[in-house]
Amino acid sequence: MIIDVNAFTGHWPSHPVKGDLNTVRASLREYGVERICVSPLEAAWCRNPHRFNDALYRTAGTFSDVWPVPVLDPTVATWKKELERATREIRVKLVRLLPAYSPYALEDTAELLQTLVAEKLGVIVQTRLEDPRRQHQLAQVPDVPAGEIASAAERHPELTVIIGGARTGEIRGLKDRLLASPNLYADVSQCDGLDAIKVLVEDGLREKLLFGSHAPLFIPYSALSRVITDLSDKDVSAILGDNAERIISW
């Protein structure tokens, strides 16, 4: 089974994407993805990202293979109500934080993260949504350091934490912390460089890697090719689905 833990739907302001859920889903199903975890792109650029979650629930609810991943923001006064709303959605297993797009530090999210533990939900914290080279020159958004996400996981050892969008070098730099933290994982949607996934597997990180496509901002074919090239069947199976199947309470 192929599980995509890092896909999106919606509009992106700096360049056009085919982001309606029907199209995103079809682009992933074409390559055999059977579970698609989706967040709303528009949430990144809205002062209240919660406003896009209800529409996500409605559209995702029309498909049996789409799992909504709502965006939460602890600086919005209604975040507790929004989280309570998310818990009523049977397919919500993860929530997403976008700290690069909101004025909060991960070290200030303790109450939210502990509430996720109580609700038995995991969290994917996005380091970046867009390569800085593709960003509008007047709307530059710096990456969230992957090390800060690792620190949050270490402070909350009962919470499943996924680093979203980290580059290969960042993941390699966190090797010891990833291996020492049973609750910390990384998706491979923005791993870059020659043999990027192979290098991470050779570093002993196979069980820590999750498949993410970053569709529709990235092309699903490229995301899958990155994983299946020059890896054993066992490595491919672990990254494409087995690891996500194991760590998320589907």
- Pair 55, 20: CB distance under 8 Å: no
- Pair 122, 116: CB distance under 8 Å: yes
Please provide the average confidence, as pLDDT, over all residues in the chain.
Answer: 96
- Looking at the predicted structure, is the pLDDT value of residue 132 above 90? no
What is the model's pLDDT at position 15? 82
d(CA 172, CA 222): 21
Burial of 90: CB neighbours in 10 Å, binned 0-12, 13-18, 19+: exposed
Superfamily for the 2-247 domain: Metal-dependent hydrolases (3.20.20.140)
- Looking at the predicted structure, is the pLDDT value of residue 131 above 90? no
- Looking at the predicted structure, is the pLDDT value of residue 184 above 80? yes
What is the model's pLDDT at position 193? 84
Q: Read off the DSSP letter of residue 239.
A: I
Residue-wise pLDDT for 222-238, tens only, equals 999 999 988 999 999 99
Residue-wise pLDDT for 47-96, tens only, equals 999 999 999 999 999 999 999 999 999 999 999 999 999 999 999 999 99
- Looking at the predicted structure, is the pLDDT value of residue 143 above 90? yes
66: phi then psi, degrees, rounded to nearest 5: -110, 130
Kindly report the CA angle at 210 between 154 and 70, in degrees rounded to 5? 75
Would you state the structure tokens that stand for residue 180, as one six-digit string? 């020492």
SS3 162: strand
